[in-house]
Amino acid sequence: MKGRRILVTGGAGFIGSHLVEALLARGAAVHVIDNLSMGRRENVPPGARFYEGDILDDRLVEQALEGVDGVCHLAARVAIRDSVARFLEDAQTNLMGTLHLLHHCRKRPPKKFVFASSMAVYGDCPHPRPVSETSPREPISPYGLSKLAAEKYVALIGRQYGLPSVRLRYFNVFGPRQAFTPYVGVITIFIQALRQGRPPIIFGDGDQQRDFIYVGDIVRATLLALESDISGEAFNVGTGRGTSVREVAAMLSQRLRPGLEPRFEPPQPGEIRHSIADISKIRRMLGFQPEGGLAERIDEVIAWNRTEATG
């Protein structure tokens, strides 16, 4: 990675800023584009060249792509529930933003284009079984649909213009710097509620299972994809283990507000019942093995949220 120049879109955000740190630590020169709609300027590490603005801005994208030999495209509207009502904004960023970036990349194709996709491309799974990359892809939310459409464009344009690409389907990412919103990151949402003395709200019966993967593992998988010679493939990035939303609430309540029970409300449109990754393909082809489990890392996330509230 030393001596390479990499563009990270969304590099001031939760996952992107961790990725930028890792790239700089490996000796890469890093360009960052972020419109700061969710990201923070202070998240961008010293040493990265920061371009504040949108990936739909022609001039800005051209400047940020100057001289790069790798692109990690993480910029997105990441809100499944919110995308139901705001499907136009979702598509403008997640689909058109991706197409805009591909349009500029085809002029001087970088050596690798890594696209951050989502487990939402698979749609609903009625049983808590791991889904493989060949499982049916029938999104039930505009967010999942925009990510799936963007995936298909990345693969197609990549083939037509000689742009080596990899699509990574991130599952439920958690870790420090995950900004609070009412729609994204159930762990952060629950921590915020419990710290304020409010019961965590569970939509549905709470038995729905998610594959929670630590942000550091997401970064390692992304770096493996960026450095590999593999192209044209899609990979699940998860742990292969499911944890129910009810279990997450209990784990956090025990640490923050013992005895405070969650409140249950009706399921929300567009939300998946179960989402667990089959990671056999990424293990086999990229040598990826997750290291940070939920139980081992949850205290780190709680500590960061406390520091954020006081600092």
Contact 284, 244 (CB under 8 A): no
Amino acid identity at 267:
P
How far is residue 247's CA from residue 252's CA, in Å, rounded to a whole number? Answer: 9
How far is residue 6's CA from residue 24's CA, in Å, rounded to a whole number? Answer: 10
Q: Which of 143, 161, 170, 183 is catalytic?
A: 143
Q: Pairing state of beta strands 70-73 and 233-237?
A: unpaired
Look at residue 84 and give its three-state secondary structure.
helix
Closest residue by Cα to residue 9 from 38, 245, 159: 38
Q: For residue 97, what are the CA distances in angstroms to 28, 58, 74, 149? A: 25, 11, 11, 12
Q: Pairing state of beta strands 49-52 and 263-265?
A: unpaired
Residue 261 buriedness (CB in 10 A; 0-12 / 13-18 / 19+): exposed
Q: From its phi and psi, is residue 36 left (phi > 0), alpha (psi between -120 and 50) or beta?
A: left
The total number of residues written for the chain in this structure: 311
How far is residue 272's CA from residue 292's CA, in Å, rounded to a whole number? Answer: 24
Question: Six-digit token pair at 136?
Answer: 């049916």
How far is residue 182's CA from residue 201's CA, in Å, rounded to a whole number? Answer: 11
51 is catalytic: no
The alpha-carbon radius of gyration of the chain (Å, integer) is: 19
Closest residue by Cα to residue 105 from 31, 22, 165, 16: 165
SS3 string, 128-183, reads: CCCECCCCCCECCCHHHHHHHHHHHHHHHHHHHHCCCEEEEEECEEECCCCCCCCC
Question: Catalytic positions, please?
Answer: 143
